[in-house]
Chains A and B, each alone.
Chain A
Amino acid sequence: MLEARALCKQFGSLTVIDQVDFRLGADEAVGIVGPNGAGKTTLLNLLSGAMQPSAGQISYRDADIKDHDAAARCRLGIGRSHQVPRPFIGMTVFENVLVAAQQGGNAHGPDAYQRGVDALQACCMLERANRRAETLGLLDRKRLELARALATKPDILLLDEIGGGLTDGEAEELVQIIQQLRKRGIAIVWIEHIVHILVQVVDRLICMDAGRIIADGLPAVVLADKAVMSAYLGGGAI
């Protein structure tokens, strides 16, 4: 469904993404792990359109989307959440999802309102619908981030360390929400450092290091890979 070929991103002389090939099938859930600076968030930025690649191709449902900006990709069905939640402060929780449903989801009138309600319900945020976004705690901000992406009616959700900064119990709550989203047929690309919650959801795991994919396969196989252990899990130091 979503495919990137020979993707590169350079900032001056620094190569952050180096010849990455990536493929995501329909209904698939892919986890991405790797040490800090591996290029995981940059890869997500390139896929979501927040950044333009220096070279390479990105296609969605066999159509070239490399030149589409973030808003256009969102309207095509590629939703994204941020590592640090970025709610529209000053707006209520419901307004946050409503604007996403209307613009990203192309819903109008009562349909947009209903989609906003559905997104909040799916993310256990309906009872906080009328609260202003800036009054929310971290877990609720992460739920709102997820609900806002969901309101755009995505086929693919790109999640950037959505479990970061949460307790195990809170992260488990998010896992349950994400598992429900999977049942709706939404494909997921999830960057996460908390590997034990990630492997509960994903079918496939990718490990990145220094802008390259060093392992790609079943989670158990990737986590047992010597190169992965050395680069990410600190195998060389043990």
Chain B
Amino acid sequence: MIWINQILQGILLGGYYALIAAGLSFLFGVMRVINLAHGSLAVLAAFLLLVIDHWLGISPFVGLLLMLPAMALVGVVFQLGVLERSLRGGVLIPLLATFGVSLLLDNILFALFGANTRSFASHIGTLSYGSWAINRSIDISQLDALIFATALGLLGGMHLLLTRSQLGRMIRATAIDADAAALSGIDPRRVRVAAAAMAMMMVGIAGAALGMRSSFEPYAGGAQLIYAFEAVVIGGTGSLWGTLIGGIVLGIAQNVGATINPHLSQISGHVVFLLVLVLRMRGAGGLLGDLRRKIRRQPMAPT
């Protein structure tokens, strides 16, 4: 029964990873940019929510109504000031630029808020520790269930937006071929600004979830970026539903590893990520290619 519980907890944890990875995956899908500032932006969102709650004395759930538009604005500034300019410089420049933004954000947050860890656990009442007992061995955390449901709702909503709405078709057309989109009357620059704003709102929701389920401090972004990146790679880059699957696989791997030995929690997630990465490598030298050749019993082509 302990294994069933750990797998169930892993699935719920995967909801959080999917939530934190959704913005990264969406931005990559639209602009082919790996945003290395993603984790730091999630932490920025958490601190924004903290400031709003502190100033107005409102629940973090109500504070989201102010924080999310602020994050959309951050997305617009981030797109126009960093991504749009760096995209013209090839593949490497956006990586360097977003890495620079990440360093800048981390240190600004440190200067403003210090090194103390913060959390919204005390702001959300019994939700932070409440659970439903399924039986003696299995409990489901109410907060984890809420985060998982939020991830499902967010990804489902994004799926509907991308497939059913005018803006969604514009985003998909721009992602596929920005030049051809422009010749169909779409302004790719405006579409990318809208996509960045949406991605930052997703990051905002993830930042709120981070602050509710655990603690955060100005330098917490690096770890969040790694979890998000691993979930995106495991699930398939640029695929929103793949991101959910990637998050769940990562969550299960961490929980199963922790059951074997508590020290194996993080490392087992990284091992699964690396295995998927190796399996995804294609071509003559890739493990996947070798396996396929063995299955088909075909000799390797001479090089």
| A interface list, Cβ under 8 A from B | 48-50, 69-72, 74-75, 79-80, 82, 86-91, 95, 98-100, 102-106, 148-149, 152
Query: What residues of A have a CB within 8 angstroms of the CB of B185 in the complex?
Result: 71, 74-75, 100, 103-106, 152
Cα of A148 to Cα of B184 in the assembled complex, Å: 7
| Interchain CB contact (< 8 A) of B183 among A70, A87, A90 | A70
Interface centre among A50, A70, A89, A95 (most CB of B within 10 A): A70
Query: What residues of A have a CB within 8 angstroms of the CB of B186 in the complex?
Result: 71, 99, 103-104
- Chain A nearest CB from B136 CB (Å) reads 48
Q: Is the CB of A86 within 8 A of B173?
A: no
Cα of A50 to Cα of B184 in the assembled complex, Å: 11
Interface members, chain B 144-185 (any A CB < 8 Å): 166, 169-170, 172-173, 176-177, 179-185
Tell me whether B187 is interfacial, beta carbon within 8 Å. yes
| Interchain CB contact (< 8 A) of A91 among B166, B169, B187 | B169
8 more CB-based (< 8 A) A-B contacts, given A91-B173, A99-B173, A99-B181 = A74-B182, A88-B172, A88-B177, A95-B169, A99-B184, A99-B186, A104-B183, A149-B183
Cα of A49 to Cα of B179 in the assembled complex, Å: 10
Query: What residues of B have a CB within 8 angstroms of the CB of A95 in the complex?
Result: 169
Query: What residues of B have a CB within 8 angstroms of the CB of A149 in the complex?
Result: 183-184
Q: List 9 A-B contacts (CB under 8 A).
A: A50-B179, A74-B182, A87-B180, A88-B181, A91-B169, A99-B181, A99-B186, A102-B169, A103-B170
Chain B residue, CB-CB nearest to A98: B169
Chain A residue, CB-CB nearest to B185: A104
Q: Is the CB of B187 within 8 A of A71?
A: yes
Query: What residues of A have a CB within 8 angstroms of the CB of B179 in the complex?
Result: 50, 70, 86
Query: What residues of A have a CB within 8 angstroms of the CB of B181 in the complex?
Result: 71, 88, 99
Chain A residue, CB-CB nearest to B184: A100
Q: In which size bucket is the chain B interface?
A: 10 to 19
Query: What residues of A have a CB within 8 angstroms of the CB of B176 in the complex?
Result: 88-91
Judged by DSSP, the binding face of B is helix
- Chain A nearest CB from B20 CB (Å) reads 25
Query: What residues of B have a CB within 8 angstroms of the CB of A72 in the complex?
Result: 187
Chain B residue, CB-CB nearest to A153: B185
Q: Given contacts A91-B172, A95-B169, A99-B169, is CB(A69)–CB(B182) below 8 Å?
A: yes
Chain A residue, CB-CB nearest to B174: A88
Cα of A79 to Cα of B183 in the assembled complex, Å: 7
| Interchain CB contact (< 8 A) of A152 among B180, B184, B187 | B184
Query: What residues of A have a CB within 8 angstroms of the CB of B173 in the complex?
Result: 88, 91, 99
- Chain B nearest CB from A108 CB (Å) reads 9
Cα of A98 to Cα of B176 in the assembled complex, Å: 16
Chain B residue, CB-CB nearest to A86: B180
Query: What residues of B have a CB within 8 angstroms of the CB of A75 in the complex?
Result: 185
- Chain B nearest CB from A144 CB (Å) reads 11
Query: What residues of A have a CB within 8 angstroms of the CB of B182 in the complex?
Result: 49-50, 69-71, 74
- Chain A nearest CB from B175 CB (Å) reads 9
Q: Is the CB of A103 within 8 A of B184?
A: yes
| Interchain CB contact (< 8 A) of A82 among B170, B180, B188 | B180
Query: What residues of B have a CB within 8 angstroms of the CB of A88 in the complex?
Result: 172-173, 176-177, 180-181
Q: Is the CB of A99 within 8 A of B183?
A: no
Query: What residues of B have a CB within 8 angstroms of the CB of A104 in the complex?
Result: 183-186
Chain B residue, CB-CB nearest to A148: B184
Chain B residue, CB-CB nearest to A100: B184
Q: Is the CB of A50 within 8 A of B169?
A: no
Interface members, chain B 80-111 (any A CB < 8 Å): none
Interface centre among B173, B179, B180, B184 (most CB of A within 10 A): B184
Interface members, chain B 170-214 (any A CB < 8 Å): 170, 172-173, 176-177, 179-188
A-B residue pairs, 6 tightest by C-beta: A104-B185, A103-B185, A70-B182, A100-B184, A86-B180, A74-B185
| Interchain CB contact (< 8 A) of A50 among B166, B170, B172, B183 | B183
- Chain A nearest CB from B128 CB (Å) reads 41
| Interchain CB contact (< 8 A) of B170 among A99, A106, A148, A152 | A99
Query: What residues of A have a CB within 8 angstroms of the CB of B187 in the complex?
Result: 69, 71-72
Q: Is the CB of B180 within 8 A of A102?
A: no
Cα of A91 to Cα of B176 in the assembled complex, Å: 10
Query: What residues of B have a CB within 8 angstroms of the CB of A48 in the complex?
Result: 183
